[in-house]
């Protein structure tokens, strides 16, 4: 373990960092008192048997004490903001009642989960109207990973997530449970949802006031729905399941003293081998599980996690038992199926910024299927970002219904932490990233830039995973139906709706 290489680089193209963006909103250290980091409760199953798990997930309105003074009006899943953490066990049949107690329609998208589409997957074709509930059933069939649930009612996804509709989902399996990782939830295994917000009068959010077609940002870091958090460290090793849950912001993470940390998992599960870093960049929707080892610190010390030079979380060191656990050089085997002969190379070209964003020269259309892939077939997808290298931005590209492998970046090796399973990949300006993609569930699914305003603004496409022996037709949602419903729910005329992406 001692002689693993330590990477000190963010990788990515520095000129494309969001800091150079005209509309960039720098983070500011909050001047409010430090608060204990909120650790979301684990959502209690309604019932669990040897084979089945039953849950009720409620999208609800609430008020959250984020800043001193007035509470902030927020939305969440079984909580006033963000949500409780949901655990699925590989191999079990999962039954979830999805309840919408919001004043307007929403959807429940399981980002990274291997489930059929478009309804179970929960993209824009699966609205749950206010006061209603619906049930989804699926078999959990994938390796241990940190995934997430977020709202996806195109083109109001960004508004719903900004209000708080995002929460961590943990898949557990046999293999991961044997690895020497911390896994005492809330003690040495914690989710860390990184977001940023801007607060207006009376501590309220105002999405439209802060709207930016390249992605809304706020100066205040919000971690697990906590402003200016600290965490009490009581174990030598701490596992952080970090999610970039921001609408737009990239996080350039590092600790005080350039403390080394070890990445053990990426979006889709455990990495083939642990990777040591001092610096790590996450783009929107990406996850990284890391283990931080505080062996060099003593009670009373504080270790700070920063993004650039702004503190995000202060880790207050307390007494801990000595822990000599070392990680094996090899953690898990990652599937690497051969490309199916005579299949095409799919092309996804992300172009534009602001309102001009497109994929393959088109804006998203819920009724149009842009690409197809046979279930079980393994194919290359070449994903490019045509923004120019200096004036452009990184587009975090996401595909539903798969955990893919990154084959290359402009023909070169992917980054050292990109050899595991991924569902989101930051694509630099002028770059083509080659992915190896396979699906084992049928349906219509979305692929898009995960800057939520780009997604809502049309940098999104759809594909069908099909089985030629059992052709299916899907009833797809249309924009007019959704806009009519939103208008009715918000008590305004359709033309008066404040949903920026609706005019695309």
> What are the residues binding Cu ion (CB under 5 A)?
111, 395, 400, 449, 451, 454
| Segment interacting with ligand C2O, rule: CB under 6 A, options 92-100, 317-325, 367-375, 446-454 | 446-454
Q: Considering the complex, what minimum distance in angstroms separates the CB of residue 287 from ligand C2O?
A: 11
Q: Which residue has the tokens 């699914």?
A: 445
Q: Which residues contact 243 (CB under 8 A, 6 or more apart)?
A: 146, 148, 168, 191, 192, 193, 194, 285, 286, 287
Q: Considering the complex, what minimum distance in angstroms separates the CB of residue 166 from ligand C2O?
A: 9
Chain position whose Cβ is nearest to ligand C2O? 111
DSSP string, 59-94: EEEEEE--SSSSPEEEEEESSSSEE-BEEEETT-EE
Q: Which residues contact 69 (CB under 8 A, 6 or more apart)?
A: 202, 203
> Among 33, 25, 6, 7, which residue's Cα sits nearest to residue 308?
25
Chain position whose Cβ is nearest to Cu ion? 449
Helices (H) and strands (E) counted in the chain, each on its own, are 5, 34
List the structure tokens of 323: 């822990």
Determine, following the binding rule CB under 6 A, whether residue 422 of this chain makes contact with ligand C2O.
no
Q: In 3-state terms, what secondary structure has residue 335?
A: coil
285, 162 contact by CB (below 8 A)? no
Determine, following the binding rule CB under 6 A, whether residue 152 of this chain makes contact with ligand C2O.
yes
List the structure tokens of 368: 């149009």
Determine, following the binding rule CB under 6 A, whether residue 248 of this chain makes contact with ligand C2O.
no
92, 99, 125, 150: residue in contact with ligand C2O (rule CB under 6 A): 150
Residues 172-231 that bind ligand C2O (CB under 6 A): none
Determine, following the binding rule CB under 6 A, whether residue 454 of this chain makes contact with ligand C2O.
no
How many residues make contact with ligand C2O (CB under 6 A)? Answer: 11
Determine, following the binding rule CB under 6 A, whether residue 398 of this chain makes contact with ligand C2O.
yes
- Residue 238 binding result from ligand C2O, Cu ion, none, given CB thresholds of 5 to 8 Å by partner type: none
> Among 402, 393, 394, which residue's Cα sits nearest to residue 422?
402
Q: Residue 162: enclosing H or E segment and its boundaries? A: helix 157-163
Q: Considering the complex, what minimum distance in angstroms separates the CB of residue 53 from Cu ion?
A: 21
- The residue among 248 and 405 lying less far from Cu ion, judged by its C-beta, is 248
- The residue among 400 and 434 lying less far from Cu ion, judged by its C-beta, is 400
Q: Which residues contact 411 (CB under 8 A, 6 or more apart)?
A: none
| Segment interacting with ligand C2O, rule: CB under 6 A, options 17-25, 34-42, 252-260, 442-450 | 442-450
- The residue among 253 and 451 lying less far from Cu ion, judged by its C-beta, is 451
- The site map against ligand C2O for 258-297 (x = CB under 6 A) is ---------------------------x------------
Q: Which residues bind ligand C2O (CB under 6 A)?
A: 109, 111, 123, 150, 152, 285, 398, 400, 446, 448, 450
């Amino acid at each position: 373990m001692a002689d693993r290489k330590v990477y000190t680089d963010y990788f990515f193209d520095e000129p494309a960092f969001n800091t150079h963006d005209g509309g960039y909103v720098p983070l500011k250290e909050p001047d409010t008192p430090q608060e204990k980091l909120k650790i979301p409760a684990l959502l209690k199953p309604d019932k669990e048997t040897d084979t089945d798990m039953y849950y009720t997930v409620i999208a609800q309105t609430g008020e959250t004490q984020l800043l001193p003074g007035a509470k902030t009006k927020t939305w969440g899943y079984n909580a006033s903001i963000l949500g409780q953490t949901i655990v699925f066990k590989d191999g079990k049949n999962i039954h979830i009642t999805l309840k919408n107690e919001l004043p307007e329609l929403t959807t429940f998208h399981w980002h990274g989960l291997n489930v059929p589409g478009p309804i179970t997957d929960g993209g824009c074709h699966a609205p749950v109207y206010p006061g209603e509930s619906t049930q989804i059933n699926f078999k959990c069939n994938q390796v241990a990973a940190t995934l997430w649930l977020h709202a996806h009612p195109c083109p109001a996804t960004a508004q719903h997530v900004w209000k708080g509709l995002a929460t961590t989902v943990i898949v557990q399996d046999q293999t991961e449970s044997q690895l020497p990782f911390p896994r005492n939830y809330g003690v040495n295994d914690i989710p860390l949802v990184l977001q940023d917000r801007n607060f207006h009068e009376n501590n309220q959010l105002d999405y439209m006031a802060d709207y930016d077609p390249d992605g809304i940002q706020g100066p205040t870091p919000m971690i697990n729905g906590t402003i200016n958090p600290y965490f009490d460290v009581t174990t030598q090793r701490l596992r952080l399941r970090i999610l970039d849950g921001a609408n737009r912001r990239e996080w350039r993470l590092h600790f005080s003293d350039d403390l080394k940390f070890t990445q053990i998992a990426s979006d889709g599960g455990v990495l083939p081998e642990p990777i040591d870093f001092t610096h790590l960049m996450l783009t929107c929707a990406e996850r990284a599980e890391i283990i931080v080892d505080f062996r060099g610190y003593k009670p009373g010390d504080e270790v700070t996690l920063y993004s650039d030079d702004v503190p995000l979380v202060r880790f207050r060191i307390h007494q801990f038992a000595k822990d000599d656990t070392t990680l094996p050089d090899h953690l898990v085997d990652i599937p690497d199926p051969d490309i199916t002969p005579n299949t095409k190379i799919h092309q996804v070209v992300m172009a534009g910024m602001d309102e001009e964003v497109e994929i393959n020269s088109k804006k998203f259309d819920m009724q149009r299927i842009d690409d197809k892939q046979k279930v079980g077939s393994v194919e290359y997808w070449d994903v490019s970002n045509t923004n120019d290298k200096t004036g452009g931005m990184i587009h975090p590209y996401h595909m539903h219904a798969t955990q893919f492998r990154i084959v290359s970046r402009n023909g070169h090796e992917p980054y050292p932490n990109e050899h595991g399973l991924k569902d989101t990949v930051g694509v630099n300006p002028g770059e083509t990233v080659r992915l190896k993609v396979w699906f084992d569930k049928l349906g219509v699914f979305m692929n898009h830039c995960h800057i939520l305003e780009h997604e809502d603004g049309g940098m999104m496409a759809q594909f069908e995973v099909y089985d030629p022996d059992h052709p299916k037709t899907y009833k797809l949602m249309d924009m007019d139906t959704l806009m009519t419903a939103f208008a009715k729910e918000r008590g305004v005329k359709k033309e008066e709706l404040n949903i920026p992406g609706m005019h695309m």
